[in-house]
Each structure stands twice: as structure tokens, then as C-alpha cells.
A and B are shown apart, each in its own frame.
Chain A
Amino acid sequence: MKGLFAVALGVLTAIGGFLDIGDLVTSSVVGSRFGLSLAWVVVVGVVGICLFAQMSGRVAAASGRATFEIIRERLGPRAGAANLIASFLINLMTLTAEVGGIALSLQLASSVAPGAWIPVAAFGVWLVIWRVKYDLMENVTGMLGLALVVFAVAVFLLHPDWSSLATQALTSPVPAGESAGTYWYYAVALFGSAMTPYEVFFFSSGAVEEKWTLKDLAQSRLNVLVGFPLGGLLTLALAACAALVLMPQNVEVTSLSQVLLPIAQAGGKLAVAFAIVGFVAATFGAALETGLSTGYTLAQFFGWSWGKFRRPTRAARFHLTIMIGLVIAMGVLATGVDPVQVTEYSVVFSAIALPLTYLPILIVANDPEYMGEHVNGRITNVVGMVYLVIILVAAIAAIPLMIATGAGA
């Protein structure tokens, strides 16, 4: 019974924790402009993140080494440092977007301007990282994030024409009024929002935090293989809501309140309340993950003591890094930059940075010195190589597409 409870908890947490501000914004933008014609990207992204998270979790459990320790060991100090700088900056950008996302979500709930919520949000994130136990933090934000299931309910309440939705999703046409350039630009963005590097820093470091052994791998595999695809379904539900309500009216999503419009139409105030709880939980949970990841990346590269399972005095520089990261995020947001825009750029840059973390993990997952008998099987390696190509193509195509389309304008 206890085992079943742990399994359910893990899966539910993975579903709730799957979504962040990047998914919320990107899938709504994509839904409102392209309908479900980019649904296939979500499928590709979800399979990719399952593969990647599972692999990095296995590496962490088998070798006790987290992602950035491995990147440093395999790439050496020079390429490793370049990798660190790129990954750290993009993670900081994502952290900024998430903290801004918390402020925007709280604004929706309170109509107090987000500028006032930003320090509150950042302080809240810091306090939880400083004081709250790892598994409690994970489970609470994951469970509350499940409130976003309301988007899936809303799709049914909107009584869509299922066959036309399915045709859209399966034939993937480029809608009239959109160019092939913007179509592919948003394909990269959607891919980047599903496969964000911080999720992997967090997942592999989390395996060390929770002291996973190889015995726990089956549980983690289940969480990932069931939780993430269900989380991906929520992403599709968000896109479907936008496609059903916003697309016919030519509403382009530029704010978080527009993401709520279909919910309001489908389920009224109660549904909106659920959605806002889900927004706060999803952005807060992701802010915790990215905040911790600022500390994880730097501490693992330099070999400092890190982790929430230690009291802060025993991981001093790790905690100092997180504090500085949050202060920088607050500073950037204080300039009045729109968090939604930061989000849109952060998902594309995530796609660009992805090969930097993916390749070292793929190599080490095949190294018997680290993995013993738990090296990648043949099927994992075939899928892993296919994804290496996809990830490289997305990363290389991202910047030319960004320039050619004026960032998807």
C-alpha cells in the first residue's frame, strides 16, 4: 500500500511539475496562431525529455555524479567553462521568466501590479530553497500544479469538433497567414519549452539529493515515463484551448491573462480560480528548480559542496550563488521587461543550448567506468542518436530562424 502511494505520488508530482511558464506561454501562443498543427512537436519533445531525464537519472544513480561534474570531467576546463557560461546564463534567463511568471500569476489573483509581487515572489522562492525539505517542496508544488488539469477539462467543456482537431494535429498544415519560417521557428520554441536544460540539471542533481540507488531507478523510470507524457497532454490541452477560442478571433497571446480566456469561457470563475492556482504552482515550482539549478551548475563545475540535503552552512557557496541568481532575476525584472517576452526568448535559447548538456550525458551513459553494467542498451542508444540529430538540427536552425522571422513576428 505504501509502495502504491509512493508510485502515485511520484507520477502525480511529475505531471504537475512538468509545466512551467515556458510551456504555458509557448503552447498558448502556438495554439492561438497555429492551432494544433504543431502538436507533433510536443510529442517529439516529450519523448526526448523522457529519454534525457531517464538517462541522466540513471547516470546519477549509478555513478553518484551529477550533470555538471560530468560535463567538466568529459569536456575539460576550457570547453566545460564555455558550456558552463552558456548554460548558466540561459538558466538565469529561465529563472527570471519563472519569477516574473509567479508575479504575473499573483497579479491575476489579486490585481496588484506585478512590480509589487516580484520581490515577494523572489523572497518566497529563496525561503523555500533555504528552509524546506527537498521532497516536501517537490510534492507540494507538483500536486498544486495538477490544478492545471482544468485545461484538459475545458477542452471537453468547449465541445470542440474533435475530427477537425484531429485532422489539424495529424496533417500539420501551415495555417494561412503564417510563413514556413514562423512555423518552424515556433516548432523550435515548442521543442525548447519541452526539453529545457534546467530540467536535466535538476533531475540528475535531484537523484543525488534524494540519494537514489540503482534500486530506485524503476520508480524514477515510471515517474518519468508516465508523468511526463501526461504532463505533455496538458501542454496539448493548453494549445487546444487557445486553438478553439483564441484562434478564430485572431487573438494573439501576449500576456498570461489571455491564456486564461478559454478557461473563463469554458468553465467560468471556478475554473479560472483553479487555473490561477495551477499557474502559481507551476511557475513557483519551476522557479525553485531553476533557482536550485543556478547553484547546481556552478557548484558542480567548481566542485563545491552543494545540495538541499545539507544544511546551508555546509553548502555555503551553493546557497550564496542561488541568492545572487535571484537578486539578478529581480534586477532584470525591475527594469520593466515583459516576463512573457523573456519566456519566449528563453525557450528558444534553451533549444540552442541543449546539445551542450545532452552530448556529455549520452557519452557517459555509455561509459562502463561510470555506469558498470547499467550502460545504455542498444535501443536507448538508437533513440539517443536519433535525438542527438534532432537536437543538433533544432539548435543550429534556431538562430537563423530567429533572425529570418524577426523572432516569430
Chain B
Amino acid sequence: MTDEGERLPRPEYRGRVLDAALHLLDRQVQDVHGEPVQTADDLEIGDVPVGESLEGAERPRILAILNGTALSTRVVGGRPPSSTLERIPWRHVADVGTAIRLTIEADDVDATWRERWVRDHIIRRIPGGRHDPE
């Protein structure tokens, strides 16, 4: 790793350097009010040109935080069909700390449909489910 050419490129911007595997993957995602939304099961990264020189190519960008089938393929391997992925576009991310904070509400995230389904079909119908504990 002493060879200059093998070193990681020096970031062009000032600010925090995040390691995607360490700081983003498997982190808790919270909505704008700090409510848990999901865990960052995987990340969707923009295309990297294959089979040609990377010189002058645009840097890959994180497009979205993934949920749903992305977890199972990270556990058992393989590649999930793109249509089954549930995405939170990266532009909704406000801040990355010990959790990833979003700028939107949990109910506005498509990926929380299971939570909403259980809430609306089961929990809401049991007496006391809508009240604070006493």
C-alpha cells in the first residue's frame, strides 16, 4: 500500500469521509422526527463503466438506501431482481451519525408498507392499541 498509485484517492471536498460499509450499511434509518424506519439493508450505487478506462468517467454515486429483498441476498448471496427492491432515494437523507436521519416522515416511505399493514389490519383493531400506555 506504499505505492502512490494504489492509495485511495484523496477526497476533493473538505468534510467527513464516510466508509459506506462501516458507516452506512446496517445502520438504523430514522425519519425526520427520529422514528425508526428500517435498517439500511443495502445501497444502490450508480453505474460504473465496465470494460473501458475509468479515466474521466463520472464517479459512482449512492442513489438509494435499499430494503426488502436486499437483506436476504446479502445473507445468502445472489442478486435480487431490481423490481423487488424497496428504495429510499438518497436525496431524502439529512444526516449520517450513529443513525441515518431522513428529511421525510416514516409513513411517506414506501418501504414501511409492512409496518403500516400490520398497524392498520391488526394492532389498530385491538382495544387500547391507539392509546398511550398508562
The verdict on A77 contacting B115 (CB below 8 Å), with A303-B37, A316-B122 known, is no
Any chain B CB within 8 A of the CB of A63? yes
Residues A80 and B134 in contact, CB atoms below 8 Å apart? no
Count: A-B pairs, CB below 8 Å: 93
The answer to the question of A2 belonging to the interface, with a C-beta cut-off of 8 Å to chain B, is no
Within 8 A of A (CB), among B58-83: 71, 74-75
> Which A residues lie within 8 Å of B126 (CB)?
130, 312
Interface majority SS (helix, strand, loop, mixed), chain A: helix
Would B71 and A77 count as touching, CB distance under 8 A?
yes
CA distance A325 to B39 in the complex (A): 22
**Which residues of A have CB within 8 Å of B114?**
317
A131 beta carbon closer than 8 Å to chain B? yes
- Pick the interface stretch among A36-44, A64-72, A237-245, A282-290: A64-72
Establish whether residues B26 and A76, one from each chain, have CB atoms under 8 Å apart when the complex forms: yes
Known contacts being A81-B75, A305-B115, is A72 close to B26, with CB within 8 Å?
Answer: yes
B41 A77 Cβ-Cβ under 8 A: yes
Is A78 part of the binding interface, using a Cβ–Cβ cutoff of 8 Å?
A: yes
Contact (Cβ within 8 A) A131 B128: yes
**What's the least CB distance linking A235 to chain B, in Å?**
31
CA distance A303 to B29 in the complex (A): 7
Decide yes or no whether B8 CB sits under 8 A from chain A. Answer: no
Residues of B within 8 A of A132 (CB): 133-134
Size range of the chain B interface in the assembly = 20 to 34
Q: Is A58 an interface residue (CB 8 A)?
A: no
* Known pairs A69-B28, A78-B75, A301-B39; A311 contacts B115 (CB<8 A): no
Chain B residues lying within 8 Å of A130, measured Cβ to Cβ, are 126, 128-129, 133
A133 touches B133 (CB 8 A): yes
- Whether A279 sits at the interface, judged by CB under 8 Å, is no
Task: Tell me the count of chain A residues lying within 8 A, CB to CB, of chain B.
Answer: 35
Chain A residues contacting B93 (CB-CB under 8 Å) are none
B130 close to A311 (CB less than 8 A): yes
Bound-state Cα–Cα, A330 to B37, Å:
31
A184 interfacial by beta-carbon distance below 8 Å? no
Q: Can you name the residue of chain A whose Cβ is closest to the Cβ of B29? A: A303
Which A residue sits closest to B41, measured CB to CB?
A77
Q: Do A320 and B39 have beta carbons less than 8 Å apart?
A: no
Q: Which residue of A lies closest to B77 (CB)?
A: A78
Interface residues of B (CB under 8 A from A): 25-29, 35-41, 71, 74-75, 98-99, 106, 114-116, 118-119, 122-124, 126, 128-134
- Would you list 17 pairs from A and B whose C-beta atoms are within 8 A, ordered by A residue? A65-B99, A76-B25, A76-B74, A77-B75, A81-B75, A131-B134, A302-B39, A303-B28, A304-B115, A305-B37, A312-B129, A312-B130, A313-B123, A313-B129, A316-B115, A317-B118, A319-B123
Seed contacts A311-B132, A317-B115, A370-B98; 8 additional CB < 8 Å A-B pairs: A65-B98, A69-B39, A77-B26, A133-B133, A308-B133, A316-B123, A319-B129, A369-B98
